[in-house]
Structure 1
């Protein structure tokens, strides 16, 4: 059974809400998920090495910037090899800005640089998840589990 880590940072609670929906749905598939809020829990980039699959959620600050809470994590990722890791990214964004969800794209590139396989579309929700977004989060989790099984074969 693949070991799954879910890491996220959330300022207003929107990305946290997404993370909870995704975690719950993955648990419904019988997979255990180890969840960490980056700015609250002791989560380090090297922790990623202990897992087969990574779900990473972040909000985007300002016009596409990564949040200050994850700057050190982002920098620390530069020194680790994530080859063979399955990764999917999600987060709350603000369509008021032209660089919608830029932090998700920035982290996606860092994961790719480090050898990870970004296996899914990036799930972006405009601000607070509504009912349609909840269903999109559930589908995202389902699709992630499906991809995990394909990688395991």
Structure 2
């Protein structure tokens, strides 16, 4: 298995906390991880990886935040055939579209031929309690799926 790219956008630290826990799970499963905040990269970096985890918080009524919006727009010019993805996000259930930004990323990925191998993990606000283990397990599962041959 090659390196896993973990990219996330965070404002309040909730999605970053999710990324921390998922990264722990990946490392527990002996995956090698390159981690970046969304505002520090360009989508072309995805060309260098076969395994990609994307995380974002949701802005407003299901929108991508600015730092992830630029990446999503650039992703529309990339091909993801042969690439394996998983998605994570934090949100607030008081909004009509809980973690809607995650759903928007999934649409872009699948439209460009990417394979999303796990149901997206969505957490309200900051992960706590059993959600912490759920996120570590998500990382371990992603690592295991990345070791399997593509369908």
TM-score, normalised via structure 2 length: 0.96
Structure of higher RCO (CA pairs closer than 8 Å, 6+ residues apart): 2
CA distance in 1, matches of 2:16, 2:122: 13
Residue 128, structure 1, aligned to residue 136, structure 2: no
What is the aligned partner in structure 2 of residue 59 from structure 1?
Answer: 57
Residue 50, structure 1, aligned to residue 48, structure 2: yes
CA distance in 1, matches of 2:90, 2:69: 17
CA distance in 1, matches of 2:143, 2:3: 12
CA distance in 2, matches of 1:48, 1:73: 10
TM-score, normalised via structure 1 length: 0.94
CA distance in 1, matches of 2:149, 2:37: 26
CA distance in 1, matches of 2:7, 2:140: 18
Runs of 4+ in 1 over 4 A off after TM superposition: none
CA distance in 1, matches of 2:69, 2:12: 18
Residue 88, structure 1, aligned to residue 86, structure 2: yes
Match of 1:141 among 129, 139, 142: 139
What is the aligned partner in structure 1 of residue 102 from structure 2?
Answer: 104
CA distance in 2, matches of 1:140, 1:63: 26
Q: Secondary structure at the match of 2:88?
A: strand
> RMSD of the TM alignment (CA)?
1.2
Residue 21, structure 1, aligned to residue 21, structure 2: yes
Instruction: Name stretches of at least 5 consecutive residues in structure 1 with no aligned partner.
Output: none
CA distance in 2, matches of 1:84, 1:111: 11
Deviation at 1:9, TM superposition (A): 0.3
Deviation at 1:108, TM superposition (A): 0.3
